């Protein structure tokens, strides 16, 4: 005896503090039918333990109460963005974004479209009922020409609000999607086609084939102001005229290669070899030091801070590097904060540095008053010192820019500053680590790394300083 009953859903739905076993959907809602088909496909394919549903904002919001699998609730319109993260973080998972036409077609269109264009490995199930359901039946991008909604009481006027947005047709212009189709749940034949299409979306994700979009036309009896039967008929007789059913793309043949999942880059990949990166160690005897490096963009301020942070990391200290700069790539004010500690660090921001390194006058005048008592300010000799540092703060005037020019490498002024930090032992880190970090910062240009190490040593010995 085979029984036809619901699979893949929780038995009770603990909504609003009550355990019930009916959904929150209005009588005759297309969401209910679609929710059932999705849960059934997920369960019948044995994918519940592998599936991450990304739930929308809109009437579909409560699906996490219904489908027995993992869920992420996305902000309005962001289900495709959240699904991008989910499918990249868990490439073995079956990731399914569930979105409505207000959610995907309006506020979330760009991130759905871009995810499709990138061919992210998730399936997007897009429920189109031609209006905003949850908020009271306002016009959506998919509202039909002439359709009455609460915000188009005389019918949608294309002269005023344009024509309906055809999401499948637009997405079908993209290269990456492997499957794009539009189905409906208006009658039995259409529901059975939708069941097959939903199953296909799951199978494509199970097999890692790539991005799939399935649009489902759904009746909204409440906001159509119709009974369930007339609302379903409206889907067939009116919506399908504007949104014809069909398969717009189906490249998911057996021969299709599984799309490789983009490899996630770790911070370690950005700096040094992966296997040379042990975790930081906690050492309460190491006094925390806070640094501020400031100047204008292009002086190598940010990379100088990064080099100090990297030296700290080589010594297995806890460290954070935090840049701050304007919209300009070169020429604007730039500064960065570095914290080096024997303990895990709470905040990367530095309000009162122990060490301040300044490459220009505005930077010096902005930050010199913040330096802690007992701290050090290293300032380039080109900076006119019109403001004295606070009492108890040591001032070092250092010819970084001049030395770099004399060595014939004007861009190495930041390396000259590193020489000062090393010479006056400002960092609490060994000279060897600072040199290693400096060389590592030129990982892509090894010859420059050695050259800078040489310049660092020359500058530290003061040989060029006339």
Binding site for another protein (CB under 8 A): 1-6, 9, 11, 21-23, 25-33, 35-37, 39, 66, 187-188, 191-192, 195, 221, 227-229, 232
Q: Minimum Å distance from CB 192 to another protein? A: 7
Q: Which is nearer to another protein, 172 or 226 (CB)?
A: 226
Comparing CA positions, the residue from 248, 112, 109, 235 lying closest to residue 184 is 235
Cα 230 from chain centroid (whole Å): 43
Residue 316 has φ and ψ, to the nearest 5°, of 60, 30
Q: Minimum Å distance from CB 226 to another protein? A: 11
Q: Which is nearer to another protein, 191 or 339 (CB)?
A: 191
Q: Which is nearer to another protein, 11 or 274 (CB)?
A: 11
Q: Taking the C-alpha atoms of 426, 431, 436 and 438 in order, what is their torsion angle to the nearest 10 degrees?
A: 40
Q: What is the maximum alpha-carbon separation in the chain?
A: 98
Structure tokens at 116: 């499709």
Q: Which is nearer to another protein, 29 or 308 (CB)?
A: 29
Q: Minimum Å distance from CB 224 to another protein? A: 13
Residue 293 pairs with which residues in a beta bridge? 336, 357
Q: How far apart are CA 86 and CA 89, in angstroms?
A: 5
Q: How far apart are CA 136 and CA 131, in angstroms?
A: 9
Q: Minimum Å distance from CB 13 to another protein? A: 9
Q: Which is nearer to another protein, 24 or 259 (CB)?
A: 24
Residue 38: other Cβ atoms inside 10 A: 30
Q: Minimum Å distance from CB 185 to another protein? A: 9
Sign of the CA dihedral running 267, 271, 275, 277: negative
Instruction: Name residue, tokens 């309000």.
Output: 351
CA triple 32-38-41, angle to 5 deg? 140
Q: Which is nearer to another protein, 23 or 335 (CB)?
A: 23
Q: Taking the C-alpha atoms of 232, 233, 236 and 242 in order, what is their torsion angle to the nearest 10 degrees?
A: -100
Residue 5: other Cβ atoms inside 10 A: 6
Q: Minimum Å distance from CB 140 to another protein? A: 20
The span from the first CA to the last CA of the chain, in angstroms, equals 98
Q: Taking the C-alpha atoms of 109, 70, 131 and 134 in order, what is their torsion angle to the nearest 10 degrees?
A: -130
Q: Minimum Å distance from CB 36 to another protein? A: 5
Q: Which is nearer to another protein, 28 or 105 (CB)?
A: 28
Do residues 65 and 16 touch, judged by C-beta distance below 8 A? Answer: no
Q: Minimum Å distance from CB 20 to another protein? A: 8
Residue 280: other Cβ atoms inside 10 A: 18
Q: Minimum Å distance from CB 41 to another protein? A: 12
Q: Which is nearer to another protein, 58 or 221 (CB)?
A: 221
Residue 333 pairs with which residues in a beta bridge? 296
Instruction: Name residue, tokens 């700096």.
Output: 271
Q: Minimum Å distance from CB 128 to another protein? A: 16
Q: Which is nearer to another protein, 192 or 258 (CB)?
A: 192
Do residues 218 and 29 touch, judged by C-beta distance below 8 A? Answer: yes
Q: Which is nearer to another protein, 6 or 114 (CB)?
A: 6
């Amino acid at each position: 005896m085979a029984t036809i009953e619901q699979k893949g859903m929780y038995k009770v739905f603990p909504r609003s503090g009550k355990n019930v076993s009916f959904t929150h959907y209005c009588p005759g809602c297309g969401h209910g039918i679609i929710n059932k088909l999705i849960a059934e496909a997920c369960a019948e394919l044995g994918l519940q333990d592998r599936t991450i549903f990304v739930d929308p904002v809109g009437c579909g919001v409560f699906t996490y109460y219904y489908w027995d699998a993992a869920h992420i609730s996305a902000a309005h319109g962001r289900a495709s963005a959240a699904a991008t993260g989910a499918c990249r973080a868990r490439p073995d998972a079956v990731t399914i974004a569930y979105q409505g036409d207000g959610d995907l077609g309006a506020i979330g269109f760009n991130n759905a479209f871009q995810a499709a264009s990138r061919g992210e490995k998730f399936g997007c199930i897009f429920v189109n009922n031609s209006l905003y359901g949850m908020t009271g039946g306002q016009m959506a991008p998919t509202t039909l020409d002439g359709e009455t909604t609460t915000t188009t009481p005389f019918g949608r006027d294309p002269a005023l609000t344009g024509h309906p947005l055809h999401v499948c047709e637009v997405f079908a212009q993209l290269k990456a999607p492997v499957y794009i189709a539009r189905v409906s749940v208006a009658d039995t034949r259409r529901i059975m086609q939708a069941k097959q299409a939903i199953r296909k979306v799951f199978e494509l994700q199970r097999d890692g084939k790539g991005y799939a979009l399935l649009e489902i036309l759904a009746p909204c009896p409440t906001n159509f102001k119709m009974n369930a039967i007339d609302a379903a008929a409206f889907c067939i007789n009116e919506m399908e005229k504007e949104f014809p059913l069909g398969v717009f793309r189906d490249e998911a043949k057996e021969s299709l290669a599984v799309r490789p999942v983009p490899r996630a880059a770790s911070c370690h990949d950005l700096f040094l070899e992966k296997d040379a990166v042990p975790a930081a160690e906690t050492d309460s005897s190491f006094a925390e030091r806070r640094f501020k490096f400031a100047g204008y963009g292009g002086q190598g301020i940010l990379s100088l801070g990064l080099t100090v942070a990297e030296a700290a990391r080589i010594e297995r200290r806890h460290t954070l590097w935090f840049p701050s700069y304007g919209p300009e790539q070169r020429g604007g004010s730039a500064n960065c904060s570095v914290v080096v500690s024997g303990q895990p660090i709470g905040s990367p921001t530095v309000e009162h540095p122990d060490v301040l390194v300044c490459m220009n006058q505005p930077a010096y005048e902005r930050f010199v008053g913040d330096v802690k008592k007992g701290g050090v300010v290293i300032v380039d000799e080109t900076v006119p010192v019109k403001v004295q540092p606070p009492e108890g703060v040591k001032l070092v005037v250092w010819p970084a820019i001049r030395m770099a020019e004399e060595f014939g490498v004007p861009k190495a002024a930041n390396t000259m500053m590193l020489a000062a930090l090393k010479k006056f032992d400002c960092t609490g880190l060994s000279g060897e680590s600072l040199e290693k970090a400096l060389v590592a910062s030129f990982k892509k240009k090894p010859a420059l790394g050695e050259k800078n190490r040489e310049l660092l040593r020359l500058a530290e010995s003061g040989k060029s300083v006339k």
